[in-house]
Each structure stands twice: as structure tokens, then as C-alpha cells.
Amino acid sequence: MVVRILVWVFMWQEVFHSDKNLWSTKGLPKPIQDNEDVVFVVREDLAILVFKMLELLLVFTFLLLVRLMVASFLEVGWVALYDTVFFGLNTILILRFALFFHNYYLSFQIVTNLRVIDIEQNGLFNRRANQLALKNIQNITYKQDGLLTYVFNYGDVIIETAGEHDPVRQDGGFVFQNVPKPAAIVEKLKALSLDEK
């Protein structure tokens, strides 16, 4: 069921990211200009979501095994107490994953022929949208740390600007975290920023 929902979400992602639907979304810095076209939209790699689902299943399996062991050793009253705790913990796990999915789906980056827009969703009611003109980009790099980033080909794209140093981001620019095919994104961004300059 969860896999079907994920397939449906990513299938309709193209519809959501069309120019008409994308710019009608609340929370964007300003509507698209007449001479501005969306080049691509990127969000965290699907592998991050799958890893989070596997983590949830692993914890659920552990709790279920503990429940089976408890049922074989304890009296019925204690088993009923554990079942209540088991239900509560699973509810917390599901809500935590739902919040993670909410933040995952509503955080994305839009690259147009004029600017880069970074939209980050943190929690239910905390959204931050920043924009950067392509002509202000000084350097674009990417990094992949760890075996999984190479196997699944995702990583961080770092966009540095001539502006002031941002202590939150630690790099004076934007960071697209855990995006798929970071080398290809860097090449596209470099080509766009050169065209704009």
C-alpha cells in the first residue's frame, strides 16, 4: 500500500512541477516572470525516503519480536500492558514518518533560467524560501560522503555566492541536500550561470 502511494506521488510530481501549478503554490518568493522558464525541479533522492521506511520497519520488527518474547514469559496482565505500550510506540513511529514525508515532499529546489529557488519545509508550519539570481553564483560544487551516496548516486550540491557568510548554512550560499545525480545538477547549473553572465 505504501509503495503504491509513493509511486502515485512521484508519478504526479511532473504535473505538480509544471509552470502553471508550480507558481500557484503559496510560499514561493514571487510569481514567475514572463521571461522566466523552469529548467528543472529537484528534491532529495528517493533513496532517503526508502531508508527512512526501512528504519521504521526495523524498529517495528524489533518491537514485535520483543512483544512475542514478552508474551511467552509474562502473565496476561503484563502482556496487555506491553500491548498498550507497543501500540503507543508504533503510533509515534508512524507519526514521525508522516512528518518526515511531509518535510521531504514539500522541500524542493526550483532552477529557472534566471534564478535558483530553495524551499525548505521544517515541521508542519515552518517553511523557508530563498532565492538567488544565477548571475550572483560564484562557485558550484558537490560532495558525496559515504558508500551509500556512491551506490545510489546522491549527494549535496553547494552553491557559493559573493554575498555575506551565512552562519546557518556554514558556506555563504545554498546547499541542496541529498539530491540525485549531483554531478549532473552541477553541470546544468554551471551552464545556466555562464549563460546568464
Whose cell is 511532473? That residue is 14
Residues 69 and 148: their CA atoms lie apart, in Å, by: 34
77-97 pLDDT tens trace: 777 787 888 888 889 988 988
Residues 113 and 192: their CA atoms lie apart, in Å, by: 7
pLDDT at residue number 143 = 92
Higher pLDDT, 132 or 23: 132
For range 118-142, the mean pLDDT: 85
For range 144-156, the mean pLDDT: 89
With a CB cutoff of 8 Å and minimum separation 6, the contacts of 148 are 47, 51
Q: Could you tell me the pLDDT band of residue 168, with boundaries at 50, 70 and 90?
A: very low
Higher pLDDT, 74 or 169: 74
Nearest one of 183, 133, 130 to 161, comparing CA atoms = 133
Q: Is the pLDDT score of 17 beyond 50?
A: no
Higher pLDDT, 154 or 36: 154
Q: Tell me the average pLDDT of the chain.
A: 78
